[in-house]
Structure 1
Amino acid sequence: MRLTIWLAGLALLPGLAHAREVGEVDTVFKWLGPNHKIVVEAFDDPKVAGVTCYLSRAKTGGIKGGLGLAEDRAEASIACRQVGPIQFDAPLEDGEVVFKERTSLIFKTMQVVRFHDEARNALIYLVYSDRIIEGSPQNAVTAIPIVPWPTAR
């Protein structure tokens, strides 16, 4: 029952960004199925215009990986950048999930959450992996100072 509710909630998460793959590199050759790799994906913050985040993470290959049955590693790296004038499209909540992706068949996800440090006028993005039972302490963080965007003359 709890699992069904969790899965339904995952499918209905509103306003999450969708990543576009920018590139990938193979890390381990596999005779059967796709190779293990590191993928680089980009996504725009759904509530903050002018911010793009780049995420690198491991993808497990082999037969299980090719069938979508493998569990990807918890390590990920993130770099977010101001790519235009920063505008808040809606009120921001600290710790709000802006990106979430399944990294195993059912139980594990990788997510990016956003914090607004008003005292320092910055946006902070944290990527981490979690499981229904036990998550991972491995994480990465990036920060963007909110500065005026130069206008064309």
Structure 2
Amino acid sequence: MPFSTPVRALRRLRAAALGLAACAGLAVQAETIGSVDTVFKVIGPDHKIVVDAYDDPLVQGVTCYVSRAKTGGIKGGLGLAEDRSEASLSCHATGPIAFKAPIKPQDEVFSERISLLFKRLRVVRMVDSQRNTLVYMTYADRVIEGSPQNSVTAVPVPAGTPIPVKR
């Protein structure tokens, strides 16, 4: 009996590792498309506007492009700066649309830290079943107070491809 507890702990650890590995397959990775400098900084990187592409992890053939300000300077170079809350979003069908699994009527597709601790840029997918359309919205939130600034875009799904909604 003295080995049963370590064996159980090892099995739980292995199951947790497998679960994390499975979830890692759904992690959304940004691909930077390009950037433009907006303010020259003598020390550290310049302030810039960055355009990143994100493929929807559950909807094959949909890519979202997010443009946002990235703070430079010493704080920006060290990852201590707080980026602005404004962002622009444009999502498009970049190939045949297919669903890997049923999707929730509203779900966060992507989230990225834009300050050291309290601020995140988020992209949420919503399903407009009546129009067979996927609606994507971006906004920034803070622990205490978020920003009402947002951007929205829509990707119509072909009529022959119903959106499988998870109820």
On whether the aligned pair clears a TM of 0.5, the verdict is yes
% of aligned pairs identical? Answer: 61
The partner residue of 1:59 within 70, 83, 95 is 70
Please give the alpha-carbon distance, in whole angstroms, between the structure 2 residues aligned to 1:126 and 1:20. 19
Question: Under a length normalisation based on structure 2, what TM-score does the superposition of the two structures give?
Answer: 0.79
Please give the alpha-carbon distance, in whole angstroms, between the structure 1 residues aligned to 2:106 and 2:116. 25
Structure 2 counterparts to residues 15-94 of structure 1, below 5 A: 15-94=26-105
Say whether the 8 Å CA contact 1:85–1:148 is kept in structure 2.
no
Please give the alpha-carbon distance, in whole angstroms, between the structure 2 residues aligned to 1:16 and 1:49. 14
Letter of the aligned partner of 1:132 in structure 2?
V
| Higher share in helix | 2
Please give the alpha-carbon distance, in whole angstroms, between the structure 2 residues aligned to 1:95 and 1:137. 19
Partner of 1:118: 129
Letter of the aligned partner of 2:30 in structure 1?
A
SS of the aligned residue for 1:99 comes to strand
SS of the aligned residue for 1:31 comes to coil
Please give the alpha-carbon distance, in whole angstroms, between the structure 2 residues aligned to 1:20 and 1:91. 25
Give the greater-gyration-radius structure (CA).
2
Letter of the aligned partner of 1:118 in structure 2?
S
Give deviations 1:118-152, integer Å, cap 9, x for gaps: 10010000000001111000000000111269xxx
Structure 1 pair 123/88, CA: closer, same or farther in 2 (3 Å)? same
SS of the aligned residue for 1:56 comes to strand
Gaps of 5+ in 1: 1-11
Please give the alpha-carbon distance, in whole angstroms, between the structure 1 residues aligned to 2:96 and 2:60. 7
Give 1:93 shift: 1.1
SS of the aligned residue for 1:104 comes to coil
Please give the alpha-carbon distance, in whole angstroms, between the structure 1 residues aligned to 2:105 and 2:112. 20
Question: Under a length normalisation based on structure 1, what TM-score does the superposition of the two structures give?
Answer: 0.86
